[in-house]
């Protein structure tokens, strides 16, 4: 997993509420076994028509948002099933930050496990960010979002912040304690698994 420090990009305003994981990546695309390749299926039913042509009126199909890395979503983003594929699709598409007033718990946790920074802000601030047309800078170290007119502070759990800053997935977090695990196994006469 790549470490996350700071990004500067325009935001993609996505004001839909209660976007569930099946809308983020529909179930028919869950056959891939690797984490990559899901970006093409992101919001598939909203992005494409029945002939698989891009719908010009969908926000992600507007050229100006092509390289955006920040999605500013409506309330209760990532609800529904616990499919991690939804986070993989957002990441593979290019999003590094998702800002909302609330996230489904499992989706929120899956973001951190895969290198996406989910930020929870109040309604008014999210609404202002959805109107922002200039580039926005998200600085995880300082926990700030800088817009053309203000600096917004956000809260984040210190452990979750650390795993993003250091790019630690679950396996990497375990391997930090490799020496202690080996010592424990020697003392306990348990065959080594590392």
- The encoded tokens of residue 152 equal 């917004």
> Is residue 24, in this structure, part of any structural domain at all?
yes
Do residues 84 and 30 touch, judged by C-beta distance below 8 A? Answer: no
The parent domain of residue 160 ranges over 6-169
The tens digit of pLDDT for each residue in 81-116 reads 888 999 999 999 999 999 999 999 999 999 999 999
> Is residue 150, in this structure, part of any structural domain at all?
yes
The tens digit of pLDDT for each residue in 102-152 reads 999 999 999 999 999 999 999 999 999 999 999 999 999 999 999 999 999
- Which of 33-37, 123-127, 176-180 tops mean pLDDT? 123-127
> Is residue 176, in this structure, part of any structural domain at all?
no
> Is residue 194, in this structure, part of any structural domain at all?
no
Q: Is 175 left (phi over 0), alpha (psi -120 to 50) or beta?
A: alpha
Instruction: Quickly state the pLDDT bin for 22 (edges 50, 70, 90).
Output: very high
Task: Give me the number of domains the chain comprises.
Answer: 1
């Amino acid at each position: 997993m790549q470490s996350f420090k700071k990004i500067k990009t325009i935001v993609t305003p996505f004001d839909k509420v209660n976007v569930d994981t099946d809308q983020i990546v529909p179930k028919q695309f869950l056959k891939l076994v690797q984490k990559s390749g899901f970006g093409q299926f992101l919001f598939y039913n909203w992005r494409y028509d029945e002939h698989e042509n891009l719908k010009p009126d969908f926000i992600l199909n507007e050229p100006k948002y092509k390289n955006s890395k920040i999605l500013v979503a409506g309330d209760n983003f990532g609800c529904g099933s616990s499919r991690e594929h939804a986070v993989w699709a957002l990441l593979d598409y290019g999003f590094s930050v998702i800002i909302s007033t609330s996230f489904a718990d499992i989706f929120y946790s899956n973001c951190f496990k895969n290198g996406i920074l989910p930020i929870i802000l109040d309604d008014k601030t999210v609404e202002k960010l959805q109107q922002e047309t200039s580039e926005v800078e998200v600085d995880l170290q300082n926990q700030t979002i800088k817009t053309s007119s203000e600096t917004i502070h956000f809260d984040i759990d210190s452990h979750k912040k650390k795993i993003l800053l250091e790019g630690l997935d679950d396996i990497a977090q375990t391997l930090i304690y490799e020496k202690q695990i080996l010592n424990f196994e020697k003392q306990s006469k348990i065959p080594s698994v590392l």
